[in-house]
Amino acid sequence: MKYIYEAPEYPSFTWDSEKIMGLLARVSVAEGRMLGKMQQFGFGVRQEATLDALTEEITKSSEIEGEILNSEQVRSSLARRLNINLEKETEPSHHIEGVVDAVMDAVRNYGKPLTKERLFGWHGVLFPTGRSGLHKIRVAAFREGEMRVVSDNGICEIVHYEAPAPEKVQGQMAEFLHWLSADGNENPLLKAAIAHLWFVIIHPFDDGNGRLTRIITGMMLARAENTYLRFYSMSAQIQKEKKKYYQILEQTTTGDLDITGWLTWFLECLGRAIESSEEIVGKVLRKAAFWQKNSAEIPNNTQREIINRLFDGFVGNMTSGKVKKIFKISQPTAIRMLRDLVDRGFLEVRGAGRSTHYVLPDEQGQTITHF
């Protein structure tokens, strides 16, 4: 036997219950504590935290696959669906709107069964042109060809995994989708971990399997928590641990039906993702407190947007050149606005010469601990 699905008892996965149940209990406690703490905050704060978490979830999930999405477009698209008013919106591309639609359908409608048609809809918006890069692929339909996960070491091609033959995909996906929607006795977090692995094993599409795996995982976690509000990003944590993620998947898919190693890694990664919710919520609270105190002091919309972008995690350094480009103003005007914010204590200058850039003051950049 070379791959896990070749075992006669597949997909009857097994694991070390004693080891997994103890870890599962610890993660469940952390999850419950996080959700309980979040109830202390108003709905607006929870919506804003959800906006940040889902923005991370979508951008980092694509980044794992090497696709870089414009985070401001993602944020604007999500904000409209969450009924959050942004001072300055960035018009999203058709592709980003589709990806956001799929993720929002997964987490908002977490209680609905995942049917083949619904899954095909998600796949379709990931590839609106019917192509992955330069290659034409089957969209909104299961693959009809072999599927291999390979890498090239410069000398030869290395096959890390070969998915089930295409003629087996239809039946295996029917079994998977039935299990996913059935009311079983599995712990919901454990079911999320198994669903993630099982979908990876089948690899039912020509492309997009990784992103769809993480969308399904997000749906299952929302189902486990019984809320569409998200306060952490599993994909962001996976991106941080990407090397180990691929290693444990390869070890599991080329092993026997004992998936203890995978479940251990997934639950530990989930625990670390939950811990990161402190950072997301802390940022939202710092931003809310800042504007509650200073809103009347900064009536200029461009200056307000500069500060909001820094609070929202502006990628790279905020320079006068970037302000000029983003807001389509002159360089002298950009410099004047930034210096005015510095003079009034709302920003600080870092670097010198060509390296000059602007940041929020240290007290605004510190994480407020609530968990």
pLDDT at position 152 is 65
pLDDT at position 154 is 67
List, as one string, the DSSP characters of 162-184.
Answer: EPPPHHHHHHHHHHHHHHHHS--
pLDDT at position 153 is 61
Query: In whole angstroms, how far apart are CA 348 and each of 31, 194, 231, 331, 345?
Result: 37, 47, 29, 19, 7
**CA torsion, ordered 93, 94, 97, 103, to nearest 10 deg:** -120
CB neighbours (10 Å) of residue 11?
17
Report the alpha-carbon distance of residue 364 to residue 371 in Å, rounded. 19
pLDDT at position 22 is 95
Residue type, 207: D
Long-range pairs of 208-213 with CB within 8 A, sequence gap ≥ 24: 208/123, 208/126, 208/127, 208/132, 210/61, 210/64, 210/65, 211/61, 211/62, 211/65, 211/126, 212/119, 212/122, 212/123, 212/126
Report the alpha-carbon distance of residue 105 to residue 285 in Å, rounded. 27
pTM: 0.83
Query: In whole angstroms, how far apart are CA 128 and each of 90, 142, 186?
Result: 21, 16, 36
Report the alpha-carbon distance of residue 115 to residue 334 in Å, rounded. 51
* Per-residue model confidence as pLDDT tens for the chain (371 residues): 689 999 999 999 999 999 999 999 999 999 999 999 898 888 988 998 999 999 999 999 999 999 999 999 999 999 999 999 887 778 999 999 999 999 999 999 999 999 999 999 999 999 999 999 889 999 999 999 999 888 766 677 788 899 999 999 999 999 999 999 998 788 999 999 999 999 999 999 999 999 999 999 999 999 999 999 999 999 999 999 999 999 999 999 999 999 999 999 999 999 999 998 888 877 878 888 888 889 889 989 899 989 988 887 787 899 999 999 989 999 999 999 999 999 999 999 999 888 899 999 974 444 333 22
pLDDT at position 140 is 97
Structural domains in the chain plus CATH codes:
4-279 (1.10.3290.10), 299-365 (1.10.10.10)
DSSP lists the bridge partners of residue 358 as 318, 349
Report the alpha-carbon distance of residue 269 to residue 265 in Å, rounded. 6
| Per-residue burial over 66-78, b = 16 or more CB atoms within 10 Å of its CB, e = otherwise | eeebebbbbbbbb
Three-state DSSP at 201 gives helix
H helical segments located in 109-165: 116-126
The closest alpha carbon to 245, from 203, 213, 218, belongs to 213
Q: Which pair of tokens denotes residue 98?
A: 């589709």
Burial, 127: exposed, middle or buried (Cβ in 10 Å; 0-12, 13-18, 19+)? buried
Q: How many residues make up the chain in this entry? A: 371
